[in-house]
Structure 1
Amino acid sequence: MLNIADTLHRWCREARPFALATVVDVHGSAPLPAGTSVAVDADGTAVGSVSGGCVEGEVYELCRQVLREDDGPRRARFGYSDDHAFAVGLTCGGELDVLVQRVDPATGPHLAAAFADVVAGRPAAVAQIVDGPEELLGRTVYADAAGGTHHGTHQHALTDALRGEVGARAHALLRAGRTARADVGGEYDGCPERLTLLVHVHASRPRMLVFGAVDFADALSRAGRFLGYRVTVCDARPVFATTARFPHADEVVADWPHRYLARTEVDPRTAVCVLTHDAKFDIPLLRLALGLPVGYVGAMGSRRTHDERLRLLSEAGVSEERLARLRSPIGLDLGARTPEETAVSIVAEIIAHAHQGTGLPLTGGAGSIHRTRAQARLAGAVPSAGRL
């Protein structure tokens, strides 16, 4: 649905109800991916596409019918083996599952907010229930980039536990920067319903800024890229900051770290990893990083280096509240020795910090292994400040 956010934003501002048809699953070859939508208003105006043209007429009529009759969402499948679907033109050999629902802006202000963020270029994720109990089909939850979760005024069928589970999954995919299907619920008493979501995401890849052109940076850039980050390696020494030394990084920059950080774009999903353990680089860089709205700030070094770093940062005017955001020595205690093992320990801490995990072994634990943010806080896993 976010592929047509500009028009839907305008229709919401005008309080204009519309029918929304969304590709919720794709099997085999299909012209457009899951998440693409077409919308039709009461005047018959249509925007968007679900198939690149081959089944648009059939979907358009379904939208008109749903908008006119207002009797709940409908599912339809178009595929090569379906004679009726073949007749309307889906000849690519694949199958499309399409969900058609009525959207009333008066009861869905959260969607208006989501569309507004997309139009403004801000990250946003909308989780749409595409499979589950009939009364929940088509329900939506909006996850914003600041960590907030929003729902419509007619979302009473969603329990608090279920809404939290849906929101947590939407935030996770927003951090990853990708649209995807996800199953939630059915795992514990507070969230017994089993649902399939389609999480629509508008976001660039999250950023990992690695400062220090050292062997650990090469291993970390590989691990970060594997997790879906857009990785930048920065070092003030041009002889070391080269693409030949860091082939897995998306960008290699030769500049003073604090100067580069001051001019580059960051957001709450950004991970800042300082590997230089050199005060002339670290102190101005960390002083700036700890005051920015980034999700994670970690610095490499021994415990003695960390204590000295805290003293220098405090003398530089960094508050205790900001110092508490610093993850140092960087990484989880995995007993890492090699650059590759150290990279795993660092990204493990980033993941645990983002999802408020404990970092403890799952063996011997209790309860669901996929806890919501609220459950993690109640368990005392990780403080909520500075999360990704």
Structure 2
Amino acid sequence: MIAPTPIDILRLLARGAADGVEGVLVTLTGIEGTSSRAIGTQMAVLADGRHAGSFSGGCIEAAVIAEALEVLARGEGRVIRYGSGSPYIDIRLPCGGGIDLLFTPCRDARSIVAVLGALARREPMALALGVAGAAPAGADAPAGWSADAFVQHYVPPLRLVAVGQGEDLAALARLAMAFGIEVVAHAPERDPLMREAAGAMAVHPMASRTAEVAFASDAWTAIVFLFHDHDWEEALLPRALAAPAFYHGAIGSRRTHRARVDMLRAAGVPESRIDALRGSIGLIPSTRDPATLALSILGEVVQDYQACAGGAEWTAGATRLVARAEPPVVPRG
């Protein structure tokens, strides 16, 4: 794990509750000016001092932890401004902006556990967060402030289904796992990756080019083909394109992709599904080595996942969300 994810933050609260340790969920609900974090960013703080997440490069985290411990001591949450316009004149953000943080006490972690259960089932869920606590909200509830609650959405984590062989597949799988992504690989049973990756990830051997393959995918899954022997794609690609995913892609030149599209049309794959398949994938053009190719592809996949999960919408709409509904500020004292 490179850094705590939203799920890691919720898991800390759940572990604390299991240990009999209360916690506070802190949520970034408003931005004035600029901020290094987006609306909806969260941090968890337990009564014993354990914490996960951040809102800056270390400028305000100590103050947030102290505030969270005071929330637990007083028994009620609050919304606090940090940075520009804050009552704390000794705490400033380097960007010069201001952020509003909602402190939600989580003495009863059942709602947190319910979210974790839904995400484990690959189902989205939302929480209505307030100064009194957290409660489940419908997955279709609009994000942001509604009356006295801030609705926060959670979606299943990114899953990568990688289909291919050789160093390109191995490099992408290694990099994705280092990033904290669940990787499911499909490779020819004689591929060295089958031995190398044993125990490190789920690798499903394919006995032949016509092997029946069931792709474990959903709306939060990316399916990437990494074959240089494109004969493997003839039977596998139509099945992959029929599976749900936010991203379908295959490596190769523009010429290779044109031949691939012709093959799919000849196989009777609907045009709408062919259009969903990306060729010449990745953010870095004309990569020639497995490591750079893996970085290029993973960057594009993560970028699209964040847009699919709503991250891009939150970032772009931060000012609009603040202007639409002001938070109920609970003063200290």
Identify the TM-score tier after normalising by the shorter chain.
Answer: 0.5 to 0.7
- Cα gap change, 1:125 to 1:228, in 2 (>3 Å): farther
State whether structure 2 residue 255 is matched by structure 1 residue 304. Answer: yes
1:141: how far off? 6.5
Q: 1-side partners of 2:247 and 2:229: how far apart?
A: 20
Matches within 5 A, 1:266-345: 266-345=217-296
Choose which of 154, 157, 180 in structure 2 pairs with 1:175. 157
Unaligned 5+ residue runs, structure 2? 1-7, 23-44, 50-68, 73-103, 318-333
Mapped contact 1:241–1:253 kept (Cα < 8 A): no
1:345 Cα deviation from its structure 2 partner? 0.6
Q: 2:13 aligns with which of 34, 47, 58?
A: 34
Which 5+ residue runs of structure 1 have no aligned equivalent? 1-23, 27-31, 38-49, 57-75, 86-96, 104-110, 130-134, 177-205, 358-369, 377-388
CA 1:155–1:226: 2 relative to 1, 3 Å: same
Of structures 1 and 2, the one with the larger relative CO (CA 8 A, separation 6+) is 2
Give, in angstroms, the shift of residue 320 of structure 1: 1.6
Letter in 2 for 1:271: A
- Paired with 1:267 and 1:260, the residues of 2 have a C-alpha distance of 19
Q: Partner of 1:123 in structure 2?
A: 123
Per the normalisation by structure 2, the TM-score is: 0.55
State percent identity of aligned pairs: 24
Please list the CA deviations of residues 18-47 of structure 1 after superposition, one character each: whole Å capped at 9, or x if unmatched: xxxxxx989xxxxx931358xxxxxxxxxx
Q: SS where residue 281 of structure 2 aligns? A: coil
Instruction: Tell me the equivalent position of 1:13.
Output: none
Query: For 1:78 and 1:374, how far apart are their aligned partners in 2?
Result: 31
1:218 aligns with 2:205: no
Contact 2:157–2:181 (8 Å) recurs in 1:
no
- Structure 1 pair 257/210, CA: closer, same or farther in 2 (3 Å)? farther
State the partner residue of 1:372: 313
Count of aligned positions:
230
Compared with structure 1, are the counterparts of its residues 150 and 258 closer, same or farther at alpha carbon in structure 2 (3 Å cutoff)?
Answer: farther
Aligned counterparts of 2:303 and 2:122: Cα–Cα separation in 1: 25
Q: In the TM superposition, what whole-angstrom CA distance separates every residue of 1:76-131 from its partner, at most 9, and x where no partner exists?
A: 98559x9xx9xxxxxxxxxxx9534799xxxxxxx8xx77x8499453443453xx
Instruction: Give the corresponding residue for 1:188.
Output: none
Report the Cα offset of residue 233 of structure 1: 3.0
Structure 1 Cα separation of the partners of residues 285 and 135 of structure 2? 39
Q: Residues 372, 141 of structure 1: CA spacing in aligned structure 2 closer, same or farther, 3 A cutoff?
A: farther
Deviations 1:288-315 (A, max 9, x none): 1111112221101110010010011011
The 1-side partners of 2:291 and 2:269 are apart by 32
**Counterpart Cα distance in 1 of 2:181 and 2:259:** 31
Counterpart residue type for residue 140 of structure 2? T
CA root-mean-square deviation = 4.3
Residue 235 (structure 1) aligned to one of 170, 174, 187: 187
Return the letter of the residue paired with 1:306.
Answer: H
Aligned to 1:52: 19
CA-CA distance at 1:275 after TM superposition:
0.9
Aligned-partner Cα distance in 1 for 2:163–2:217: 15
| Cα drift, residue 218 of structure 1 | 1.4
CA distance, structure 1, for counterparts of residue 253 and residue 46 of structure 2: 59
